[in-house]
Structure 1
Amino acid sequence: MVQPNHANMLDVAHGGNVMKWMDEVGAMSAMRFAGEMCVTARVNQMNFERPIPVGDTAYITAYVYDAGTSSVKVRLIAERENLQTHERERTTESYFVYVAIDEDNTPTTVPELTVDTEEGERLRREALADDLGRAD
C-alpha cells in the first residue's frame, strides 16, 4: 500500500519507489526461475503511464519470458488497485534483465526456459515482440 512516506509532493507514489518495488519483485521472479541469486543488470525503458495515489496498492506482476546463459529477462507490470472497489489499472511497465551469480558473485548458468501452456507461450511471444520494439 502506498503510504505518505512513499509519495512525492503530489500525494502519489514517487517513481523511484515504484521502480524499486518492481526491481524487488522482478529479482524474486528471476531467482525463483534460476535457483540462484540474481542481480539487476539492465532496466529497459520504464514507462510511467499513470500515478499510484496514496492509499492505493501497487500490484506488481512479473514473469520470466527469456533466458540466456546466465541472464534472465523479466517483464514487469505495475497496477494501482483500490482495495475498497477492487478497481485496478495499469500504471507502469518495464523489462528487466538479471544475471544469476554463484557464491563468489560470478555469473553462473541458468536453466533453459520452457513454456508449458498456451497462455505462457502467448505471454512470452508478446514480451519478446515488445522488448525487441523497445531495444536500444
Structure 2
Amino acid sequence: MKTLHTFFTLLLLASGLMACNAQSTTGFTNISEKEFAEKAQAENTIILDVRTPQEVAEGRIAGASLFIDINDSQFAEKMQALDKSKTYLVYCRSGARSSKASSWMAENGFSQVYNLKGGILGWSGTIEK
C-alpha cells in the first residue's frame, strides 16, 4: 500500500513539473524553431529582434519587422511604446538576451511573449540581409 502511495505521489509531482514546463514562471515561453515559424504565420504577431544594429545588418530572420537593441539606453521607453495586445516572437543571437528581453516584457504587462530557444544561431530558416 505504501508503494502505491509513493507511486501516485511521484506521478502527481511529475505531472506538475511537466505542466510548469509549458509556461515558465518567468511569464514568457521558450519555443523551438518549428514553433517559432508556426507562430510567425499568425495575425497580430510581431517578430522582435533585440540584437545590436551591427548584428542585424549581418542578417535577420525573415519576417522580422521590429528591431530594438536590448543594450540601447532607451530600451525600456521603446518597449513601453509597443502594443501589449500583440503576440511577440523575440530572438537574439543565442537566446540569452532575448530571454532577458522576454522576461522584461512579461514583467511589464505583455502577455503573449515567446522566446526563440537558441536564437538566430539555431535558426535554419530563411535569413534576410
Superposition TM-score, scaled by structure 2 size:
0.25
Structure with greater helix share of residues: 2
Structure with greater strand share of residues: 1
Structure number with greater CO (CA < 8 Å, separation at least 6) is 2
Superposition TM-score, scaled by structure 1 size:
0.24
